[in-house]
Amino acid sequence: MAKATNKTETSLDKPLFSLSYDLSAQLTDEAARLLAGDKTRNPASVTSYAVLVLIVIAALAPATKGNAPLLVGMVVVEVILWGLADRWPQVQLRKLRHAGLDTALIPADKRRRTVAVYEDTLTVTSPDAAETLRIADLRGATLGNEMAVLAFANGSYVLVPSRAMSAQRYRDLLKHVGAVKETAKK
């Protein structure tokens, strides 16, 4: 009986997936670009386009045609949103840096990350600390050709570079955490 308990305990300690990588500025920049997406997925850009349409409608509508302060205000909002849309990747990079992925503040010998994925948790270990995140708290996953960025409810981000593991294990890990849906083979 005691052997069965020990065997169960050791199987619980063994991760389903494990990968290691060195955190670099290039990897963080790539994650920021991935989170920023293209202009059509950028919320500031979409809002900017909507305000632009509203400006045209307000300029042509008889009820607001003579209301210059309204049009000027809308143009100011449009310019601000347009500037924010162009800087959206930097906004995402700042968000990643505030989440602890700022390589400028981490010494080179402390940048190693090990990600261990268990049945319902994910543990990210660095030389200084370990953080355990529940897979149920996964808020979103952004997938790219070279990596996946997992965003959690507590504001943490986990980078999963595809080059850190085989292609099949990478897909299986993403399916396990719910980042991709399993497709049925026909």
Q: Are residues 93 and 33 in the same domain?
A: yes
pTM: 0.76
Q: How far apart are CA 78 and CA 74, in angstroms?
A: 6
Q: Are residues 47 and 17 in the same domain?
A: no
pLDDT surpasses 50 at 168: yes
Q: Are residues 48 and 68 in the same domain?
A: yes
Task: Assess contact for 95 and 108: CB atoms under 8 A.
Answer: no
Residue 160 domain-assigned (yes or no): yes
Tokens matching residue 71: 């049009």
Task: Assess contact for 163 and 170: CB atoms under 8 A.
Answer: no
Q: How far apart are CA 178 and CA 93, in angstroms?
A: 24
What is the tens place of the pLDDT at every residue in 108-163?
889 999 999 999 999 999 988 899 999 999 999 999 888 999 999 999 999 999 99
pLDDT surpasses 80 at 17: yes
- Confidence grade of residue 9 (pLDDT, cut at 50, 70, 90): very low
Among 84, 100, 116, identify where a domain stops.
100
Identify the domain containing residue 89 by its residue range: 25-100
Residue 170 domain-assigned (yes or no): yes
pLDDT surpasses 80 at 7: no
- Where do the H-state alpha helices sit in the chain? 2-13, 25-36, 43-60, 68-86, 88-96, 167-177
Q: How far apart are CA 42 and CA 137, in angstroms?
A: 24
Specify the CATH number for the domain of residue 117: 2.30.29.30
Task: Assess contact for 148 and 142: CB atoms under 8 A.
Answer: yes
